[in-house]
Amino acid sequence: MLRLPHSFLPLLRHVRLLWHAAPGLSLVCFALSALQAVAAVAAMISSGRLIGALADVVAGVGSPVAVWTWLVATAAALVAGPLLAAVSGGVEEVTGARYLSAYQDLLLDTATRPYSLAGVRSPAGAEALDQAAGALQHWLFLRGVGGLWGVITARFSGVGALVIVAGWRWWVALVLLVGWLILSRTTARWRSVLMDDAGSIPLRHRAPPICSGWSSKDHRRRRYGWSGWPTGSSTAT
């Protein structure tokens, strides 16, 4: 039976909730991430072809038309990357807002069901609430939903780069892959420790205990570290 790593399970829960909160926008973000990776790989290929065409022209065996063709292709690939990143950034903001709104609503629903402390006092209910609240302090959650699409773009770009290198020398691609796996595992462990320490600070509001214009419901949300805007009926935003 296939067993996933324990650290991978929270990511699956976040992805499931992201799909629940914004399925259409999630597909758009995924498509934009893939297109950014394609643009990066296209820039690698076209720039290499451009250098080869220039070398052929200098050697007297090439055509200037090929140089201009690959120059235009390289410029188009380099321009397409930032444009796609700009569009993706705007979509990621909306997707992240909907994700946070859905998460806060589920957290409040878990904490208030069944409108008493009986469910919270039970071991299963207390564990569910603790996991839900603890995810807010996880460094992946603090980094934002946009980090997910950045990782996807980087992974797709890396696979494309390995394919290009493997077409030249397969053993070079193998060495690069093994080195990347070792380095990424080490840096991921160091980053997790650093971000876990930084993200373990309890969420506290910095507002005075009583503010004019706050309802008692809003005050309770701020008192326990929940902001008012993403809760309640804000899933319609």
Q: CA–CA separation, 23 vs 38, rounded Å?
A: 23
Q: Which residues of 104-141 are buried (b: 16+ CB within 10 A; e: fewer)?
A: bbebbebbeeeeeeebbeeeebeebbeebbebbbbbbb
* Residue 101 and residue 237 in contact, taking contact as beta carbons nearer than 8 Å: yes
**Domain 6-201: what homologous superfamily?**
ABC transporter type 1, transmembrane domain (1.20.1560.10)
pLDDT of residue 119: 57
- The verdict on pTM exceeding 0.85 is no
Query: Any idea where the domains of the chain sit in the sequence?
Result: 6-201
CB atoms closer than 10 angstroms to residue 30: 14
Give me Rg for the CA atoms of the chain: 24
Q: CA–CA separation, 44 vs 164, rounded Å?
A: 9
Q: CA–CA separation, 104 vs 20, rounded Å?
A: 13
In tens digits, what is the pLDDT along the chain, a chain of 237 residues?
444 444 566 667 777 888 888 899 999 999 999 999 999 999 999 998 999 999 988 888 888 899 999 999 999 999 999 999 999 988 988 888 888 888 888 777 766 665 556 555 677 767 766 766 666 665 556 566 667 788 888 889 888 888 888 888 888 888 888 888 888 777 777 766 665 565 554 444 433 333 334 344 444 444 444 444 333 433 333
